Amino acid sequence: MIQSTLDLHSATAVSLQEKVTKAETLLALSVVSSNLPYTFEDVATAKYPPMFPDSETAKGFQCGRKKLSYTISDGLGPYFKAKVIKELDIPDTFYSIMIDESPIPEAKVQQLDVLVRYYSTNTENVLVEHLQSFHLGHATADELFSCIEDALSDVRKNNMICFYSDGPNVMKSLKRKLKTEVSPNMVDIGW
């Protein structure tokens, strides 16, 4: 499937649907950069048409928490992940992986977030970027390993120099497996 792109800077004539999509995308970026809760949009979306009664874009705007979540994860997520992957693909770019499991009680699952920390030659700073998230039931070391392998599928695995997590026994087992099967030169900084 080929995904179309949205040019947010174009001055050419655009359809009403493209204007609405642009507005929804800009809102999604604002919500993420401001750390606003997604539930905010359930209320705010209903307010835009009365606030801007002369705007066809506001009338067509529909971006509650579910659509916002999909816009961010499925629309914007792949773009930002590709930017990170491109930087990590530079031969001498070494990185550390950090994982965190958080419960999502309403879904009765755990969310595993895989983050990557590296020195960016583009920004000349150390960055921590989100690489991928997974929803898991009760996670074993093998399941966690599989998720991390999936998250790292497009990067140079031998450039991973360190792994961070909290200290439960399953993480110790996972760390051993990563050192053995993914990056033998990984530095052990302890727990």
User: Rounded CA gap, 69 and 174, in Å?
Assistant: 30
* Mean pLDDT of the region 23-46: 88
What's the confidence (pLDDT) of residue 1? 44
pLDDT at 3: 56
Structural domain span for residue 64 = 16-76
Residue-averaged pLDDT of the chain? 85
Q: What pLDDT score was predicted for residue 154?
A: 92
Q: Is residue 7 part of a domain?
A: no
- What's the rounded Cα separation, in Å, for the pair 58 and 47? 9
Pairing of strands 125-136, 109-120: antiparallel
Does residue 11 have a pLDDT over 90?
Answer: no
- Please state the rounded mean pLDDT for residues 16-41: 89
pTM here is: 0.73
Cα three-residue angle 45-62-30, rounded to 5 degrees:
60
Q: Hey, what are 22's tokens?
A: 């642009």
Q: Name the strand (E) or helix (H) holding 52.
A: none
pLDDT band with cut points at 50, 70 and 90 for residue 4: low
pLDDT at 38 over 60: yes
**114 and 72 assigned to the same domain:** no
Regarding predicted confidence, which is higher, 173 or 129? 129
For residue 155, is it left (φ>0), alpha (ψ between -120 and 50) or beta? beta
Residues 44, 98 within the same domain: no
- CA distances from residue 14 to 19, 48, 90, 111, 132 in whole angstroms, order as listed: 7, 21, 37, 39, 33
pLDDT at 125 over 90: yes
Assess if residue 9 is contained within a domain. no
Q: What is the CATH number of the domain that holds 111?
A: 3.30.420
pLDDT attached to residue 17: 92
Residue 90 has pLDDT above 50, yes or no: yes
Q: What would the pLDDT profile of 50-74 be if each residue is shown by its tens digit?
A: 999 999 998 898 888 889 988 988 8
Same domain, yes or no, for 24 and 45?
A: yes
If one compares 8 and 57, the residue with the highest pLDDT of the two is: 57
CA distances from 41 to 4, 8, 45, 170 (A): 25, 21, 5, 38
Is 83 a domain residue? no
| Domain membership flag for residue 186 | no
